Structure 1
Amino acid sequence: MKKFIKNIKKYKSYMMYSAKAILKSEVAGSRLNWLWWILDPFFFMLVYTFVALVVYGKSEPYFPLFVFIGLNLWNYFSKTVTKSVKAVKSCKGMISKVYLPKYILVLTTMLVNLFKMLVAFSLVVVMVPMYHVPITWRLIEIVPLFLVLSIFTFGCSCILLNFGVFVKDLANVVQVVLKLAFYMSGIFYSIAKRVPQPYATILLDFNPVANIIHGARNCILYESHPMYGVIGIWLVISILLSIIGVRLINKYENSYVKVV
Protein backbone atom coordinates (compact mmCIF):
# COMPACT_ATOMS: atom_id res chain seq x y z
CA MET A 1 0.00 0.00 0.00
CA LYS A 2 2.84 2.39 0.87
CA LYS A 3 4.55 1.60 -2.43
CA PHE A 4 1.30 2.21 -4.30
CA ILE A 5 0.76 5.63 -2.69
CA LYS A 6 4.43 6.51 -3.23
CA ASN A 7 4.16 5.69 -6.94
CA ILE A 8 0.96 7.73 -7.28
CA LYS A 9 2.79 10.77 -5.89
CA LYS A 10 5.88 10.06 -7.98
CA TYR A 11 4.02 9.70 -11.28
CA LYS A 12 1.28 12.26 -10.63
CA SER A 13 2.82 14.77 -13.03
CA TYR A 14 3.13 12.12 -15.73
CA MET A 15 -0.52 11.12 -15.34
CA MET A 16 -1.71 14.72 -15.64
CA TYR A 17 0.53 15.46 -18.63
CA SER A 18 -0.40 12.22 -20.38
CA ALA A 19 -4.13 12.74 -19.77
CA LYS A 20 -3.94 16.28 -21.18
CA ALA A 21 -2.03 15.03 -24.22
CA ILE A 22 -4.62 12.31 -24.90
CA LEU A 23 -7.50 14.75 -24.56
CA LYS A 24 -5.86 17.26 -26.89
CA SER A 25 -5.08 14.58 -29.47
CA GLU A 26 -8.70 13.40 -29.48
CA VAL A 27 -10.05 16.81 -30.47
CA ALA A 28 -7.17 17.89 -32.69
CA GLY A 29 -8.50 18.94 -36.09
CA SER A 30 -12.12 18.90 -34.91
CA ARG A 31 -14.06 22.14 -35.17
CA LEU A 32 -16.35 21.25 -32.28
CA ASN A 33 -13.43 20.17 -30.05
CA TRP A 34 -14.53 19.14 -26.56
CA LEU A 35 -18.21 19.67 -27.42
CA TRP A 36 -18.15 16.14 -28.87
CA TRP A 37 -17.82 14.83 -25.31
CA ILE A 38 -21.25 16.34 -24.64
CA LEU A 39 -22.79 15.65 -28.04
CA ASP A 40 -21.89 11.95 -28.10
CA PRO A 41 -23.97 10.93 -25.04
CA PHE A 42 -26.54 13.61 -25.92
CA PHE A 43 -27.28 12.04 -29.32
CA PHE A 44 -27.44 8.57 -27.78
CA MET A 45 -29.85 10.00 -25.21
CA LEU A 46 -32.09 11.25 -28.04
CA VAL A 47 -32.03 7.83 -29.72
CA TYR A 48 -32.93 5.91 -26.56
CA THR A 49 -35.57 8.47 -25.65
CA PHE A 50 -37.16 8.06 -29.09
CA VAL A 51 -37.09 4.26 -28.84
CA ALA A 52 -38.60 4.24 -25.35
CA LEU A 53 -41.26 6.89 -25.92
CA VAL A 54 -42.26 6.33 -29.55
CA VAL A 55 -41.54 2.66 -30.19
CA TYR A 56 -42.33 1.13 -26.80
CA GLY A 57 -44.44 3.89 -25.30
CA LYS A 58 -42.68 3.60 -21.93
CA SER A 59 -40.58 6.06 -19.99
CA GLU A 60 -39.65 7.33 -16.54
CA PRO A 61 -40.06 10.79 -14.97
CA TYR A 62 -37.44 13.19 -16.40
CA PHE A 63 -36.61 10.50 -18.95
CA PRO A 64 -33.96 12.39 -21.03
CA LEU A 65 -32.04 13.13 -17.83
CA PHE A 66 -32.65 9.57 -16.66
CA VAL A 67 -30.93 8.21 -19.79
CA PHE A 68 -28.18 10.84 -19.89
CA ILE A 69 -27.05 10.14 -16.32
CA GLY A 70 -26.95 6.41 -16.97
CA LEU A 71 -25.02 6.78 -20.22
CA ASN A 72 -22.34 9.01 -18.73
CA LEU A 73 -21.66 6.79 -15.73
CA TRP A 74 -21.65 3.70 -17.95
CA ASN A 75 -19.24 5.30 -20.44
CA TYR A 76 -16.83 6.21 -17.65
CA PHE A 77 -16.72 2.56 -16.55
CA SER A 78 -16.83 0.77 -19.90
CA LYS A 79 -14.39 2.99 -21.80
CA THR A 80 -11.83 2.73 -19.00
CA VAL A 81 -12.12 -1.05 -18.85
CA THR A 82 -11.98 -1.43 -22.65
CA LYS A 83 -8.91 0.78 -22.95
CA SER A 84 -7.12 -0.91 -20.05
CA VAL A 85 -7.26 -4.39 -21.60
CA LYS A 86 -5.00 -3.16 -24.43
CA ALA A 87 -3.08 -0.57 -22.41
CA VAL A 88 0.24 -2.43 -22.27
CA LYS A 89 0.19 -3.28 -25.98
CA SER A 90 -0.74 0.30 -26.87
CA CYS A 91 2.20 1.67 -24.87
CA LYS A 92 4.70 -1.05 -25.78
CA GLY A 93 7.23 1.39 -27.20
CA MET A 94 7.31 3.52 -24.07
CA ILE A 95 7.28 0.79 -21.41
CA SER A 96 10.08 -1.09 -23.18
CA LYS A 97 12.36 1.92 -22.64
CA VAL A 98 11.16 3.48 -19.38
CA TYR A 99 9.87 1.81 -16.23
CA LEU A 100 6.36 2.81 -15.29
CA PRO A 101 4.04 1.00 -12.86
CA LYS A 102 1.42 -0.32 -15.24
CA TYR A 103 -1.51 0.67 -13.03
CA ILE A 104 -0.48 4.25 -13.78
CA LEU A 105 -1.76 3.57 -17.31
CA VAL A 106 -5.14 2.65 -15.81
CA LEU A 107 -5.24 5.78 -13.67
CA THR A 108 -4.35 7.93 -16.68
CA THR A 109 -7.22 6.41 -18.65
CA MET A 110 -9.54 7.03 -15.71
CA LEU A 111 -8.50 10.69 -15.61
CA VAL A 112 -9.24 11.07 -19.32
CA ASN A 113 -12.69 9.51 -19.03
CA LEU A 114 -13.41 11.36 -15.78
CA PHE A 115 -12.78 14.69 -17.48
CA LYS A 116 -15.03 13.73 -20.39
CA MET A 117 -17.77 12.69 -17.99
CA LEU A 118 -17.55 15.94 -16.02
CA VAL A 119 -17.77 17.95 -19.25
CA ALA A 120 -20.81 15.93 -20.32
CA PHE A 121 -22.42 16.35 -16.90
CA SER A 122 -22.41 20.10 -17.45
CA LEU A 123 -25.44 19.43 -19.64
CA VAL A 124 -27.18 17.88 -16.62
CA VAL A 125 -26.70 21.18 -14.78
CA VAL A 126 -28.51 22.91 -17.65
CA MET A 127 -31.26 20.30 -18.01
CA VAL A 128 -32.17 20.05 -14.31
CA PRO A 129 -33.84 23.50 -14.13
CA MET A 130 -35.30 23.01 -17.63
CA TYR A 131 -37.20 19.93 -16.44
CA HIS A 132 -38.01 21.52 -13.05
CA VAL A 133 -36.19 18.80 -11.14
CA PRO A 134 -36.20 19.57 -7.38
CA ILE A 135 -32.69 20.39 -6.15
CA THR A 136 -32.06 18.91 -2.69
CA TRP A 137 -29.14 18.10 -0.41
CA ARG A 138 -29.30 14.50 -1.64
CA LEU A 139 -27.19 15.60 -4.61
CA ILE A 140 -24.09 15.22 -2.44
CA GLU A 141 -24.88 11.53 -2.01
CA ILE A 142 -23.61 10.96 -5.54
CA VAL A 143 -20.06 11.48 -4.22
CA PRO A 144 -19.75 8.13 -2.38
CA LEU A 145 -21.43 6.43 -5.34
CA PHE A 146 -18.85 7.82 -7.73
CA LEU A 147 -16.06 6.84 -5.34
CA VAL A 148 -17.23 3.21 -5.31
CA LEU A 149 -17.62 3.23 -9.10
CA SER A 150 -14.07 4.54 -9.50
CA ILE A 151 -12.57 1.93 -7.16
CA PHE A 152 -14.52 -0.85 -8.87
CA THR A 153 -13.43 0.43 -12.29
CA PHE A 154 -9.80 0.60 -11.18
CA GLY A 155 -9.86 -2.93 -9.74
CA CYS A 156 -11.47 -4.47 -12.82
CA SER A 157 -9.19 -2.53 -15.16
CA CYS A 158 -5.98 -3.57 -13.37
CA ILE A 159 -6.96 -7.25 -13.42
CA LEU A 160 -7.93 -7.10 -17.09
CA LEU A 161 -4.77 -5.15 -17.96
CA ASN A 162 -2.68 -7.97 -16.52
CA PHE A 163 -4.52 -10.82 -18.23
CA GLY A 164 -4.90 -8.81 -21.43
CA VAL A 165 -1.15 -9.12 -21.92
CA PHE A 166 -1.21 -12.92 -21.84
CA VAL A 167 -4.65 -13.71 -23.32
CA LYS A 168 -4.74 -12.44 -26.90
CA ASP A 169 -8.52 -12.59 -27.37
CA LEU A 170 -9.44 -11.09 -24.00
CA ALA A 171 -10.26 -7.70 -25.54
CA ASN A 172 -12.91 -9.32 -27.76
CA VAL A 173 -14.38 -11.24 -24.83
CA VAL A 174 -14.55 -8.05 -22.75
CA GLN A 175 -16.36 -6.24 -25.59
CA VAL A 176 -19.04 -8.95 -25.68
CA VAL A 177 -19.43 -9.00 -21.89
CA LEU A 178 -19.73 -5.21 -21.76
CA LYS A 179 -22.42 -5.22 -24.45
CA LEU A 180 -24.39 -7.72 -22.39
CA ALA A 181 -23.77 -5.75 -19.20
CA PHE A 182 -24.94 -2.54 -20.91
CA TYR A 183 -28.43 -3.94 -21.44
CA MET A 184 -28.46 -5.40 -17.92
CA SER A 185 -27.51 -2.10 -16.26
CA GLY A 186 -30.76 -0.20 -16.82
CA ILE A 187 -29.29 2.56 -18.96
CA PHE A 188 -32.59 3.35 -20.70
CA TYR A 189 -35.06 1.65 -18.38
CA SER A 190 -35.66 1.35 -14.65
CA ILE A 191 -34.63 -2.08 -13.38
CA ALA A 192 -36.66 -1.61 -10.20
CA LYS A 193 -39.86 -0.83 -12.14
CA ARG A 194 -39.53 -2.71 -15.43
CA VAL A 195 -37.88 -5.98 -14.40
CA PRO A 196 -40.05 -8.44 -12.44
CA GLN A 197 -38.98 -9.79 -9.08
CA PRO A 198 -36.79 -11.51 -8.04
CA TYR A 199 -34.75 -10.66 -11.15
CA ALA A 200 -34.76 -6.92 -10.44
CA THR A 201 -33.21 -7.46 -7.02
CA ILE A 202 -30.66 -9.88 -8.47
CA LEU A 203 -29.61 -7.39 -11.15
CA LEU A 204 -29.27 -4.51 -8.68
CA ASP A 205 -27.46 -6.60 -6.06
CA PHE A 206 -25.02 -8.38 -8.37
CA ASN A 207 -24.36 -5.62 -10.89
CA PRO A 208 -22.60 -2.75 -9.08
CA VAL A 209 -22.71 -0.43 -12.09
CA ALA A 210 -26.49 -0.88 -12.36
CA ASN A 211 -26.86 -0.22 -8.63
CA ILE A 212 -24.70 2.90 -8.76
CA ILE A 213 -26.59 4.26 -11.78
CA HIS A 214 -29.87 3.54 -9.98
CA GLY A 215 -28.59 5.32 -6.88
CA ALA A 216 -27.29 8.33 -8.82
CA ARG A 217 -30.68 8.82 -10.45
CA ASN A 218 -32.35 8.61 -7.06
CA CYS A 219 -30.02 11.31 -5.69
CA ILE A 220 -30.25 13.70 -8.64
CA LEU A 221 -33.81 13.21 -9.89
CA TYR A 222 -36.04 11.50 -7.36
CA GLU A 223 -35.05 12.84 -3.91
CA SER A 224 -34.26 9.34 -2.68
CA HIS A 225 -31.33 7.49 -1.10
CA PRO A 226 -29.07 4.99 -2.85
CA MET A 227 -29.06 1.38 -1.62
CA TYR A 228 -26.26 1.95 0.89
CA GLY A 229 -26.21 -1.62 2.16
CA VAL A 230 -25.45 -3.04 -1.28
CA ILE A 231 -23.10 -0.15 -2.11
CA GLY A 232 -21.15 -0.83 1.09
CA ILE A 233 -20.68 -4.48 0.14
CA TRP A 234 -19.47 -3.50 -3.31
CA LEU A 235 -17.06 -0.98 -1.79
CA VAL A 236 -15.36 -3.82 0.09
CA ILE A 237 -15.37 -6.04 -3.02
CA SER A 238 -13.97 -3.18 -5.13
CA ILE A 239 -11.12 -2.59 -2.69
CA LEU A 240 -10.28 -6.31 -2.76
CA LEU A 241 -10.36 -6.30 -6.57
CA SER A 242 -8.03 -3.29 -6.60
CA ILE A 243 -5.58 -4.98 -4.23
CA ILE A 244 -5.62 -8.14 -6.36
CA GLY A 245 -5.15 -6.12 -9.54
CA VAL A 246 -2.21 -4.11 -8.21
CA ARG A 247 -0.53 -7.24 -6.83
CA LEU A 248 -0.94 -9.06 -10.14
CA ILE A 249 0.65 -6.13 -11.96
CA ASN A 250 3.52 -5.89 -9.46
CA LYS A 251 4.16 -9.62 -9.79
CA TYR A 252 4.06 -9.97 -13.57
CA GLU A 253 4.82 -6.55 -15.07
CA ASN A 254 8.50 -7.36 -15.64
CA SER A 255 7.45 -10.05 -18.11
CA TYR A 256 4.98 -7.88 -20.04
CA VAL A 257 7.55 -6.57 -22.53
CA LYS A 258 8.67 -10.11 -23.37
CA VAL A 259 5.10 -11.18 -24.15
CA VAL A 260 3.83 -8.19 -26.12
Structure 2
Amino acid sequence: MMNQFPDEHWDIEITPKNSLFDLRLKDTWHYRDLLLLLVRRDFVSFYKQTILGPVWFFVQPIITVLIYTLVFNNLAKISTDHVPAPLFYLAGTILWNYFADCLTKTSTVFKDNAAMLGKVYFPRLIMPLSIVLSNLIRFGVQFLLFLVMMAIDHDKITPNAILFLFPLLILIIAALGLGLGMIISSVTTKYRDLAFVVTFGVPLLMYTTTVIFPLSTAIAKYPAYSWLIKFNPITAVIETLRYGFLGQGSFSWGLLGYSAGVTAVILLIGIIIFNKVERTFVDTV
Protein backbone atom coordinates (compact mmCIF):
# COMPACT_ATOMS: atom_id res chain seq x y z
CA MET A 1 0.00 0.00 0.00
CA MET A 2 1.43 3.37 -0.98
CA ASN A 3 1.64 6.04 1.67
CA GLN A 4 -0.58 8.82 0.30
CA PHE A 5 -0.62 10.61 3.63
CA PRO A 6 2.82 12.05 4.39
CA ASP A 7 1.91 12.89 7.99
CA GLU A 8 1.18 9.24 8.77
CA HIS A 9 3.76 6.56 9.35
CA TRP A 10 3.45 3.16 7.72
CA ASP A 11 5.45 0.12 8.75
CA ILE A 12 5.51 -1.25 5.20
CA GLU A 13 4.84 0.45 1.87
CA ILE A 14 3.93 -1.88 -1.00
CA THR A 15 4.83 -0.23 -4.29
CA PRO A 16 5.06 -1.65 -7.83
CA LYS A 17 8.44 -2.74 -9.06
CA ASN A 18 10.08 -0.38 -11.51
CA SER A 19 12.80 -2.76 -12.60
CA LEU A 20 13.33 -6.47 -13.12
CA PHE A 21 16.48 -6.09 -11.04
CA ASP A 22 14.53 -4.70 -8.07
CA LEU A 23 15.04 -7.68 -5.73
CA ARG A 24 13.47 -6.07 -2.65
CA LEU A 25 16.24 -7.54 -0.50
CA LYS A 26 15.38 -5.11 2.29
CA ASP A 27 11.81 -6.41 2.33
CA THR A 28 13.11 -9.97 2.33
CA TRP A 29 15.19 -9.17 5.42
CA HIS A 30 12.14 -7.65 7.14
CA TYR A 31 10.28 -10.91 6.52
CA ARG A 32 13.09 -13.10 7.86
CA ASP A 33 10.74 -14.47 10.56
CA LEU A 34 8.48 -15.78 7.80
CA LEU A 35 11.51 -17.27 6.07
CA LEU A 36 12.47 -19.18 9.21
CA LEU A 37 8.86 -20.27 9.69
CA LEU A 38 8.71 -21.68 6.16
CA VAL A 39 12.01 -23.49 6.68
CA ARG A 40 10.61 -25.09 9.83
CA ARG A 41 7.37 -25.96 8.02
CA ASP A 42 9.22 -27.72 5.22
CA PHE A 43 11.34 -29.67 7.69
CA VAL A 44 8.49 -30.73 9.97
CA SER A 45 5.88 -31.48 7.31
CA PHE A 46 8.17 -33.80 5.37
CA TYR A 47 9.05 -36.05 8.31
CA LYS A 48 6.15 -35.57 10.73
CA GLN A 49 4.18 -38.66 9.67
CA THR A 50 7.14 -40.95 9.04
CA ILE A 51 8.23 -43.78 11.32
CA LEU A 52 11.95 -43.05 11.20
CA GLY A 53 11.61 -39.27 11.03
CA PRO A 54 14.92 -37.40 10.49
CA VAL A 55 16.73 -40.75 10.46
CA TRP A 56 15.84 -40.76 6.77
CA PHE A 57 18.53 -38.11 6.41
CA PHE A 58 21.03 -40.93 6.95
CA VAL A 59 19.12 -43.86 5.46
CA GLN A 60 18.82 -42.44 1.95
CA PRO A 61 22.53 -41.67 1.32
CA ILE A 62 23.65 -44.91 3.02
CA ILE A 63 21.41 -47.06 0.82
CA THR A 64 22.43 -45.09 -2.27
CA VAL A 65 26.14 -45.51 -1.48
CA LEU A 66 25.73 -49.24 -0.87
CA ILE A 67 24.01 -49.69 -4.24
CA TYR A 68 26.60 -47.59 -6.07
CA THR A 69 29.42 -49.53 -4.42
CA LEU A 70 27.88 -52.85 -5.41
CA VAL A 71 26.93 -51.93 -8.98
CA PHE A 72 29.56 -49.46 -10.16
CA ASN A 73 32.58 -50.44 -8.06
CA ASN A 74 32.23 -54.19 -7.51
CA LEU A 75 30.38 -55.24 -10.67
CA ALA A 76 31.30 -52.60 -13.26
CA LYS A 77 34.80 -52.14 -11.79
CA ILE A 78 34.73 -48.36 -12.22
CA SER A 79 37.70 -46.68 -10.56
CA THR A 80 37.30 -44.46 -7.52
CA ASP A 81 40.80 -42.89 -7.76
CA HIS A 82 42.18 -45.08 -4.95
CA VAL A 83 39.63 -43.63 -2.51
CA PRO A 84 37.46 -46.01 -0.44
CA ALA A 85 34.33 -46.49 -2.55
CA PRO A 86 31.80 -45.52 0.16
CA LEU A 87 33.59 -42.21 0.77
CA PHE A 88 33.96 -41.54 -2.95
CA TYR A 89 30.27 -42.09 -3.69
CA LEU A 90 29.02 -40.34 -0.56
CA ALA A 91 30.94 -37.16 -1.42
CA GLY A 92 29.22 -36.95 -4.80
CA THR A 93 25.84 -38.15 -3.58
CA ILE A 94 25.30 -35.59 -0.82
CA LEU A 95 26.23 -32.71 -3.14
CA TRP A 96 24.04 -34.02 -5.94
CA ASN A 97 21.09 -34.63 -3.61
CA TYR A 98 21.30 -31.06 -2.35
CA PHE A 99 21.34 -29.65 -5.86
CA ALA A 100 18.56 -31.95 -7.10
CA ASP A 101 16.30 -31.16 -4.13
CA CYS A 102 16.81 -27.40 -4.54
CA LEU A 103 16.08 -27.63 -8.26
CA THR A 104 13.03 -29.90 -8.19
CA LYS A 105 11.31 -28.23 -5.23
CA THR A 106 12.00 -24.69 -6.42
CA SER A 107 10.76 -25.57 -9.91
CA THR A 108 7.21 -26.03 -8.55
CA VAL A 109 7.19 -23.20 -6.02
CA PHE A 110 4.48 -21.18 -7.83
CA LYS A 111 2.18 -24.17 -8.31
CA ASP A 112 2.67 -25.58 -4.81
CA ASN A 113 2.03 -22.25 -3.07
CA ALA A 114 -0.49 -20.65 -5.42
CA ALA A 115 -3.17 -20.27 -2.71
CA MET A 116 -0.89 -18.41 -0.31
CA LEU A 117 0.89 -16.37 -2.97
CA GLY A 118 -2.42 -15.14 -4.37
CA LYS A 119 -3.82 -13.88 -1.06
CA VAL A 120 -1.02 -12.57 1.14
CA TYR A 121 1.74 -10.09 0.40
CA PHE A 122 5.32 -10.95 1.18
CA PRO A 123 8.50 -10.88 -0.92
CA ARG A 124 8.05 -13.81 -3.29
CA LEU A 125 11.77 -14.53 -3.25
CA ILE A 126 11.28 -15.89 0.28
CA MET A 127 9.59 -19.04 -1.05
CA PRO A 128 12.53 -20.38 -3.11
CA LEU A 129 15.00 -19.18 -0.46
CA SER A 130 13.16 -21.19 2.19
CA ILE A 131 13.52 -24.30 0.04
CA VAL A 132 17.26 -23.80 -0.34
CA LEU A 133 17.71 -23.25 3.40
CA SER A 134 15.53 -26.19 4.48
CA ASN A 135 17.46 -28.48 2.15
CA LEU A 136 20.68 -27.08 3.59
CA ILE A 137 19.71 -28.57 6.97
CA ARG A 138 19.38 -31.97 5.36
CA PHE A 139 22.70 -31.54 3.60
CA GLY A 140 24.37 -30.54 6.87
CA VAL A 141 23.23 -33.72 8.59
CA GLN A 142 24.41 -35.86 5.69
CA PHE A 143 27.74 -34.03 5.65
CA LEU A 144 28.24 -35.02 9.28
CA LEU A 145 27.84 -38.63 8.15
CA PHE A 146 30.53 -37.96 5.55
CA LEU A 147 32.88 -36.60 8.23
CA VAL A 148 32.28 -39.64 10.42
CA MET A 149 33.16 -41.95 7.54
CA MET A 150 36.28 -39.85 6.89
CA ALA A 151 37.34 -40.33 10.50
CA ILE A 152 36.89 -44.10 10.16
CA ASP A 153 39.02 -44.28 7.00
CA HIS A 154 41.40 -41.45 7.91
CA ASP A 155 44.46 -43.56 7.13
CA LYS A 156 43.34 -43.99 3.50
CA ILE A 157 42.80 -40.32 2.64
CA THR A 158 44.95 -37.18 2.58
CA PRO A 159 42.91 -33.97 3.06
CA ASN A 160 44.49 -30.69 2.02
CA ALA A 161 43.95 -26.92 2.25
CA ILE A 162 41.49 -26.92 -0.66
CA LEU A 163 38.84 -28.17 1.78
CA PHE A 164 38.56 -24.59 3.06
CA LEU A 165 36.75 -23.80 -0.21
CA PHE A 166 33.85 -25.83 1.15
CA PRO A 167 31.57 -22.79 1.86
CA LEU A 168 32.11 -21.59 -1.71
CA LEU A 169 31.17 -25.01 -3.09
CA ILE A 170 27.91 -25.03 -1.13
CA LEU A 171 27.15 -21.50 -2.28
CA ILE A 172 27.66 -22.51 -5.92
CA ILE A 173 25.46 -25.60 -5.61
CA ALA A 174 22.70 -23.69 -3.78
CA ALA A 175 22.77 -20.78 -6.25
CA LEU A 176 22.75 -23.11 -9.25
CA GLY A 177 19.77 -25.08 -7.93
CA LEU A 178 17.98 -21.86 -7.01
CA GLY A 179 18.59 -20.19 -10.37
CA LEU A 180 17.56 -23.17 -12.49
CA GLY A 181 14.59 -23.83 -10.22
CA MET A 182 13.30 -20.26 -10.57
CA ILE A 183 13.65 -20.40 -14.35
CA ILE A 184 11.74 -23.68 -14.57
CA SER A 185 9.12 -22.56 -12.05
CA SER A 186 8.48 -19.40 -14.04
CA VAL A 187 8.10 -21.30 -17.32
CA THR A 188 5.83 -24.00 -15.84
CA THR A 189 3.23 -21.39 -14.91
CA LYS A 190 2.28 -21.53 -18.61
CA TYR A 191 3.76 -24.81 -19.78
CA ARG A 192 2.94 -27.53 -17.25
CA ASP A 193 4.62 -30.23 -19.36
CA LEU A 194 8.02 -28.97 -18.24
CA ALA A 195 7.31 -30.26 -14.72
CA PHE A 196 7.19 -33.82 -16.08
CA VAL A 197 10.48 -33.27 -17.91
CA VAL A 198 12.12 -32.19 -14.65
CA THR A 199 10.77 -35.23 -12.80
CA PHE A 200 12.55 -37.79 -14.98
CA GLY A 201 15.25 -35.51 -16.39
CA VAL A 202 17.02 -34.56 -13.15
CA PRO A 203 18.00 -38.15 -12.21
CA LEU A 204 19.35 -38.65 -15.73
CA LEU A 205 21.31 -35.42 -15.48
CA MET A 206 23.34 -36.99 -12.67
CA TYR A 207 25.16 -39.16 -15.23
CA THR A 208 26.61 -36.03 -16.84
CA THR A 209 28.48 -35.33 -13.59
CA THR A 210 31.17 -37.25 -11.71
CA VAL A 211 28.96 -38.61 -8.94
CA ILE A 212 29.66 -42.25 -9.85
CA PHE A 213 33.05 -41.97 -11.56
CA PRO A 214 36.06 -39.63 -11.38
CA LEU A 215 36.70 -37.07 -14.09
CA SER A 216 39.96 -38.79 -15.04
CA THR A 217 38.04 -41.98 -15.88
CA ALA A 218 35.49 -40.07 -17.95
CA ILE A 219 38.24 -38.40 -19.99
CA ALA A 220 40.17 -41.66 -20.50
CA LYS A 221 37.28 -43.99 -21.32
CA TYR A 222 34.74 -41.66 -22.89
CA PRO A 223 36.73 -38.97 -24.74
CA ALA A 224 33.86 -38.22 -27.13
CA TYR A 225 31.58 -37.26 -24.24
CA SER A 226 34.11 -36.06 -21.70
CA TRP A 227 33.50 -32.40 -22.63
CA LEU A 228 29.86 -32.75 -21.56
CA ILE A 229 30.93 -34.00 -18.14
CA LYS A 230 33.89 -31.67 -17.76
CA PHE A 231 31.92 -28.51 -18.50
CA ASN A 232 28.93 -29.43 -16.38
CA PRO A 233 29.17 -26.76 -13.63
CA ILE A 234 28.44 -29.36 -10.94
CA THR A 235 31.43 -31.51 -11.94
CA ALA A 236 34.04 -29.00 -10.75
CA VAL A 237 32.25 -28.66 -7.41
CA ILE A 238 32.20 -32.42 -6.80
CA GLU A 239 35.82 -32.84 -7.91
CA THR A 240 36.95 -29.96 -5.69
CA LEU A 241 35.17 -31.43 -2.66
CA ARG A 242 36.80 -34.83 -3.23
CA TYR A 243 40.21 -33.29 -3.80
CA GLY A 244 40.04 -31.15 -0.66
CA PHE A 245 38.61 -33.71 1.75
CA LEU A 246 39.85 -36.99 0.27
CA GLY A 247 43.06 -35.92 -1.47
CA GLN A 248 42.00 -37.29 -4.88
CA GLY A 249 40.27 -35.67 -7.81
CA SER A 250 40.83 -33.39 -10.79
CA PHE A 251 40.95 -30.00 -9.11
CA SER A 252 41.27 -26.97 -11.37
CA TRP A 253 40.93 -23.30 -10.49
CA GLY A 254 39.87 -22.68 -14.08
CA LEU A 255 37.01 -25.19 -13.98
CA LEU A 256 35.90 -23.99 -10.55
CA GLY A 257 35.91 -20.39 -11.80
CA TYR A 258 33.94 -21.52 -14.84
CA SER A 259 31.34 -23.18 -12.57
CA ALA A 260 31.05 -20.05 -10.44
CA GLY A 261 30.64 -17.88 -13.53
CA VAL A 262 27.98 -20.08 -15.13
CA THR A 263 26.14 -20.26 -11.81
CA ALA A 264 26.15 -16.47 -11.45
CA VAL A 265 24.71 -16.04 -14.95
CA ILE A 266 22.00 -18.68 -14.38
CA LEU A 267 21.07 -17.15 -11.01
CA LEU A 268 20.81 -13.67 -12.55
CA ILE A 269 18.62 -14.94 -15.39
CA GLY A 270 16.49 -16.87 -12.90
CA ILE A 271 15.93 -13.78 -10.74
CA ILE A 272 15.02 -11.64 -13.76
CA ILE A 273 12.49 -14.17 -15.08
CA PHE A 274 11.12 -14.87 -11.59
CA ASN A 275 10.57 -11.15 -10.92
CA LYS A 276 8.80 -10.76 -14.25
CA VAL A 277 6.51 -13.78 -13.87
CA GLU A 278 5.56 -13.18 -10.22
CA ARG A 279 3.57 -10.10 -11.30
CA THR A 280 1.08 -12.13 -13.33
CA PHE A 281 1.51 -15.75 -12.27
CA VAL A 282 -1.84 -15.81 -10.39
CA ASP A 283 -3.62 -15.47 -13.74
CA THR A 284 -1.95 -18.55 -15.19
CA VAL A 285 -1.36 -20.97 -12.29
Q: Same fold (TM over 0.5)?
A: yes
Alignment equivalent of 2:135, drawn from 113, 121, 126: 113
1:141 aligns with 2:165: yes
Partner of 2:42: 22
Contact 2:216 2:250 in 1 (8 A): no
CA contact (8 A) 1:192 1:200 kept: no
For 2:196, give the aligned amino acid.
Answer: N
Determine the C-alpha separation between the residues in 1 that align with 2:185 and 2:125. Answer: 8
TM-score when normalising by structure 2: 0.84
Higher mean alpha-carbon deviation, 62-71 vs 224-233, is at: 224-233
| Amino acid paired to 1:249 | F
Partner letter of residue 207 of structure 1? N
**Deviation of 1:201 (Å):** 4.8
Report % sequence identity: 26
Among residues 84, 87, 103, which one is paired with 1:65 in the alignment? 87
- Higher mean C-alpha displacement, 135-144 vs 207-216: 135-144
> What is the alpha-carbon distance in structure 2 between the residues aligned to residue 224 and residue 87 of structure 1?
35
**Structure 2 gap segments, 5+ residues each:** 1-20
Aligned Cα RMSD in Å?
A: 2.0
Alignment deviations for residues 30-76 of structure 1 (CA, whole Å, 9 cap, x no partner): 34221111111111100110112332233412210111111111111
Matched letter for residue 171 of structure 2: L
TM-score between the two structures when normalised by the length of structure 1: 0.91
1:245 aligns with: 270
Contact persistence 2:183–2:270 (CA under 8 A): yes
Q: Is the 8 A contact 2:159 2:243 kept in 1?
A: no
Cα distance in 1 for partners of 2:167, 2:276 equals 33
Higher helix share: 1
User: Structure 1, residues 121-161: CA drift from partner, whole Å, max 9, x if none?
Assistant: 11111111211233433321222222222222221111111
Gap change, CA 1:122 and 1:66, over 3 Å in 2 = same
Query: What amino acid is the match of 2:112?
Result: S
Give the structure 2 partner of residue 100 of structure 1. 122
1:166-205 correspondence runs (5 A): 166-196=190-220, 198-199=223-224, 201-205=226-230
| CA–CA separation in structure 2 for the residues paired with 1:3 and 1:103 | 8
Describe the superposition over 1:174-233 as per-residue Cα deviations: whole angstroms up to 9, x where unpaired: 233313211111211113224436446513442011221111111110166732212212
| Cα distance between partner residues in 2 of 1:3 and 1:57 | 49
Contact 2:172 2:263 survives alignment (8 Å): yes
Query: What is the aligned partner in structure 2 of residue 52 from structure 1?
Result: 72
Distance 2:214 2:116 in 1: 44
Structure 1 match to 2:108: 86
8 Å CA contact 1:62–1:221 kept in 2: the answer is no
Q: How far did 1:113 drift? A: 1.1
Q: What residue is the counterpart of 2:60 in the other structure?
A: 40
Partner of 2:182: 158
| Secondary structure, aligned partner of 2:195 | helix
Give ranges in structure 1 of 5+ residues lacking alignment. Answer: none
AA of the residue aligned to 1:173: V
Whole-Å Cα distance in 2 between the matches of residues 134 and 160 of structure 1?
40
